[in-house]
A and B are shown apart, each in its own frame.
Chain A
């Protein structure tokens, strides 16, 4: 059974940093791209970042480029999202999703950016 479990969310002040983790199980992790998708309260889905299976290719939405860094550790079946220079508008539930179809999603972790 495929499982994705995010962690690392919380309350942070504007300008602060957080590191999200997504632990995966139930599939050959290194064979699949992984993606972070966020959903602000009461809003729609927003693609944030994708990393290839081997980790050699990374992609970012314009809204987070230069501030967020995606990475993965295939030995630990985990994908990370390092978030810095956080803004109020980054407040959202952050989900990791299994690529390329996004056929499995984690429950998400809430990031709140507020002073």
Chain B
């Protein structure tokens, strides 16, 4: 199964908003409302920040939001902060196997 497609890197200045895309197919992202996003700081364990496309776990900042259109899901981070610099991964339920991850996006806060 192919990984979901994410940009390798994105960047933004403090206070700005950025969006990370995650493109799949009708067999995964487009077919189910089971897209999740994870944040991973260097040397740390991935942290769930968005699930079911738009939902935030308790304790996750409302600066993080998710959306989906067709086969592409998006993660938007508003009011960018230095602590947001990390790798971000999307994942989706698939019709073939339970889950597939995106290749990951490195966010740099300028």
Contact = CB atoms under 8 A, between A and B. Distances in A.
Do A and B bind? yes
Contact of B38 (A59, A61, A102, A106): A102
Judged by DSSP, the binding face of B is strand
B1 A101 contact: no
Contacts of B107: none
B99 A50 contact: yes
B98 A44 contact: no
B75 interface: no
B48 A102 contact: yes
Contacts of B46: 45, 95, 102, 105
Query: How extensive is the interface on chain B, given as a class?
Result: 20 to 34
B103 to A, nearest CB: 5
A46 interface: yes
A45 B97 contact: no
B10 to A, nearest CB: 15
B101 A101 contact: no
Interface in A85-115: 95, 101-103, 105-108
A107 B45 contact: yes
B98 A50 contact: yes
B51 interface: yes
A75 B33 CA distance: 33
Interface of B: 1, 3, 36, 38, 40, 45-46, 48, 51, 57, 87, 89, 91, 97-104
Interface of A: 33, 35, 37, 44-47, 50, 59-62, 95, 101-103, 105-108
22 contacts: A35-B98, A44-B3, A44-B87, A44-B103, A45-B46, A45-B89, A45-B101, A47-B91, A47-B97, A47-B99, A47-B100, A50-B97, A50-B98, A61-B1, A61-B97, A95-B46, A101-B36, A101-B48, A102-B46, A103-B51, A103-B57, A107-B45
